[in-house]
Structure 1
Amino acid sequence: MAQIASIASHAETARTAPVPRAPATLEETGLSVDQIRQLFVKALYTGEATGITLSERLRLPYTVLEPIVEHIVRIERLVEVKGATGTGAAGYRYALTDLGRDRAQQYLQANQYVGPAPVPLATYVAAMQALQAARGYIDRERLRSGFTHLIVEDDVLDQLGPAVNAGKAIFLYGPPGNGKTVIAEGMGRALGGDMYLPYAIDVDGQTITLYDPINHQSLDAPDSTGGENSASIVKPVPRDRRWIHIRRPVVMVGGELTLDMLDLNFNPIAKFHEAPIQLKANGGVFLVDDFGRQRITPQELLNRWIVPLESRYDYLSLHTGKKIQLPFDVLIVFATNLDPASLADEAFLRRIPYKIAIEDPSLEQFTKIFELNCRRRSLKFHQVMVAYLQRRHYGPANRPMRSCHPRDLIEQVTALCRYQGREPVITRQLLDAACTSYFVDSARGQALPPLKKSGQRRVEVH
């Protein structure tokens, strides 16, 4: 338990992750001799490698591996030394003997996982508890830091802030195109900070892979795990390299979400498990976008999460039938443009205490969003162009303004300018063309009223 206790002692701030301490002995890995022996032998099945290279693959210091390596070389005769590329046993080049190749095939038939040595489940649970204790709370300024790329009003922030601090599930609802998805992403940025995630977890000899480069952003330098001349692999260092340093995850799913994605995925050929999507989001944000449009019914999905939302623990089953309890330290955000009352009954909605409406922007907010998107594309902003849009394409058609419209229309204007071989610029004619392409009623030729003539000189921006 010394390693578990040390995890919490390295917490520096609410935004800095507790650092897992490197094992100095075999016992501190939490794994058995047989587990490490099997990983070492399987890692050699593809060809010979030095002790340092194998230490890098298993993410264990060579000083921890050395007693096991010596035993399988001298006693079991599974591995032989083919030469050396440096001083000491860590520089030896190892290869499998014929007996070793037969044994490796047996190991691979039972479990094809080859990679960083897994972390015991108890150690992972303790790390998640330490991370939760070190998190702290956010205030308005820290929350706003996650939305510097957006125009979000204070009243919305003041609803989001308490929800994030409470760590409870959130319902974002409202018309489409008003930024519910990017607001959820912004909450992940506001939580900020980092964390350490094990590449894999061991549960009674069963391996569960957890790190996913698609959903996890590594903060480790490319050579941080060591190389052929890396002393950090040869000798114990403060950090356990079986854990990868990542940003707090923001994991998103949409209409593709199914119930089996929320369970452990056992590969019958490789003989190990992959973590479900919500476990990959642990410590961060899990966004269920377009809620209500999945291939499963909302009620099925909500029933699956009743217990985790209440207890903050999830229960998963291995292919052996063993059920395990895992921390459910996830900020779940449901985003939908449907009426929440039509998606779930009162009993479930009670378990989602924060329901926040994301409404259409006002003209003032729309103008700010338009200006922000102009700056992003280095375009000159003229407020008269927004007034023209409102007068020509919104008011007459009784069309609601959406937060995504400025970005999308400016993208169309920019694309049209490039097609015409000219520098991007916003004019009335280009906005008309963009609206004709973008809005369905404009594309069908809906009549728009002519511009009013007056004695004032017409302003045109080029």
Structure 2
Amino acid sequence: MALLERVPQLAPAATSSAEAPAPIAPVAIEETGLTQAFIADLVLKILYQKGQATAAELADVICLPLPKILQGILEFLKTEHLVEVKGSSGMAAATYVYVIATKGQERAREAFAKNGYVGAAPVTLAAYVNRVRAQTIGSLQVTFDEIRKALTHLVLPEKTLRQLGPAINSGRSIFLFGPPGTGKSSIAETLATMLRGSIVLPYAILVGQQLIRVFDPSRHRPLVALDARFDRRWVPVARPFVEVGGELTLEDLDLTFDENSKVHEAPFQMKASGGVLLIDDFGRQRASPEMLLNRWIVPLDRDVDFLTLSDGRKIEVPFDVLLVFATNRTPSSLVDEAFLRRIQYKIEV
């Protein structure tokens, strides 16, 4: 059974550009894409673990509006004798303290048997796809002067700088190669800082009854705490930079299913969506370069990726990432020409 995952709390901030990509808060259950039963089970799982919580605390964890949506769920649970009001620290409904009833404990255990997810309510797959398309990396453009300024900490020939511009603006894939110590990894990391604007990522996605965790505190940098005007199931983050090296396997490029929590973890390329994914030391992974690049053929050609759920179903998600391969070896020594043609920009550093 998963431990309670409380949504990270950030200091309130004034309206900023970081909030711009965030969807407006839903005003009805139908607008969440979730069912009343799903949200009710999420509430019961929280109370089962915490013992008790105020309505406001429940809203903070689930990230759904209290007056418009969650209050109705709590009234339903109370009517069904699944929760009880233990007391209140004030007159407002937000201060009511809820505890789980015996009948509610039974239903919570049934909900945990389905999955151990406890946290922000998920968004639908369709909502995720639409949001990624709306904030695509392909719409960004950087200038030569911006590239030169961003890479002043590295000694690079002007030819390399001029090659990087079109490569970044393509939003596709880049092959950086050259001897050790020439700054290939540093270039890739700097590319992410040049991608202007912020994006929003969901804490989790619901596909049927399957859950996929997307937001990763170790990979994503939150920028601002959304206020009640916005759908707080989404997190405004800086465009991600995700780096993987020799530890990368083919299995890491698909959904990872936790048998205990029954929750999927998004793969690296999905966590890097809207930003940069660096495959460092390419050619030193446990899977061969041919196998890894074969995995990328469809995403590189069609800008979509196909992932497999634990029940065998395939889902289609956008492949919206600047994919950077960095290696000490020449591209031709790693893969054949047919693969290399799919990587449009090959830059020697």
Q: Same fold (TM over 0.5)?
A: yes
2:3 is aligned to: none
**Structure 1 residue 141 corresponds to structure 2 residue 145:** yes
Cα deviation, residue 314, structure 1: 0.1
Cα distance change on mapping 1:17 and 1:330 into 2, 3 Å: farther
**Structure 1 residue 94 corresponds to structure 2 residue 85:** no
Q: Mark the structure with the bigger radius of gyration.
A: 1
3-state SS of the aligned residue for 1:156?
helix
2:34 is aligned to: 31
Within the candidate set 275, 278, 287, 1:287 is matched to: 278
Cα distance change on mapping 1:345 and 1:133 into 2, 3 Å: closer
Within the candidate set 52, 64, 73, 2:78 is matched to: 73
Higher strand share: 2
2:9 is aligned to: none
**Structure 1 residue 111 corresponds to structure 2 residue 115:** yes
1:240 is aligned to: 231
**Structure 1 residue 218 corresponds to structure 2 residue 225:** no
**Structure 1 residue 311 corresponds to structure 2 residue 302:** yes
Cα deviation, residue 168, structure 1: 1.6
Greater shift in the superposed pair: 28-37 or 283-292 = 28-37
1:164 is aligned to: 168
Question: Counterpart of 1:70 in structure 2: which amino acid?
Answer: E
TM-score when normalising by structure 1: 0.70
Q: How does 1:241-280 map to 2 (within 5 A)?
A: 241-280=232-271
Cα deviation, residue 197, structure 1: 0.6
Contact preservation (8 Å) 2:137, 2:275: no
TM-score when normalising by structure 2: 0.92
Cα deviation, residue 106, structure 1: 1.1
Which whole-Å CA distance do the structure 1 matches of 2:37 and 2:333 have between them? 54
Cα deviation, residue 145, structure 1: 4.1
Cα deviation, residue 184, structure 1: 0.4
3-state SS of the aligned residue for 1:101?
helix
Q: How does 1:365-376 map to 2 (within 5 A)?
A: none
Instruction: Structure 1 unaligned segments of length 5 or more: list them.
Output: 1-11, 226-231, 359-462
Cα distance change on mapping 1:40 and 1:319 into 2, 3 Å: same
**Structure 1 residue 340 corresponds to structure 2 residue 343:** no
3-state SS of the aligned residue for 2:242?
strand
3-state SS of the aligned residue for 1:291?
coil
3-state SS of the aligned residue for 1:172?
strand
Deviations, residues 162-200 of structure 1 (Å, cap 9, x unaligned)? 011111210000001110000001111111321111010
The alignment of Structure 1 onto Structure 2 pairs a total of residues equal to 332
- The percent identity for this pair of structures is 50
**Structure 1 residue 205 corresponds to structure 2 residue 209:** yes
Cα deviation, residue 17, structure 1: 5.3
Cα distance change on mapping 1:126 and 1:340 into 2, 3 Å: same
Contact preservation (8 Å) 1:72, 1:78: yes
Within the candidate set 18, 21, 24, 2:24 is matched to: 21
Which whole-Å CA distance do the structure 2 matches of 1:99 and 1:336 have between them? 59
Cα deviation, residue 133, structure 1: 7.7
Contact preservation (8 Å) 2:22, 2:234: no
RMSD over equivalenced CA pairs, Å: 1.7
Which whole-Å CA distance do the structure 1 matches of 2:123 and 2:31 have between them? 10
Contact preservation (8 Å) 2:19, 2:236: no
Which whole-Å CA distance do the structure 2 matches of 1:199 and 1:146 have between them? 31
Cα distance change on mapping 1:310 and 1:324 into 2, 3 Å: same
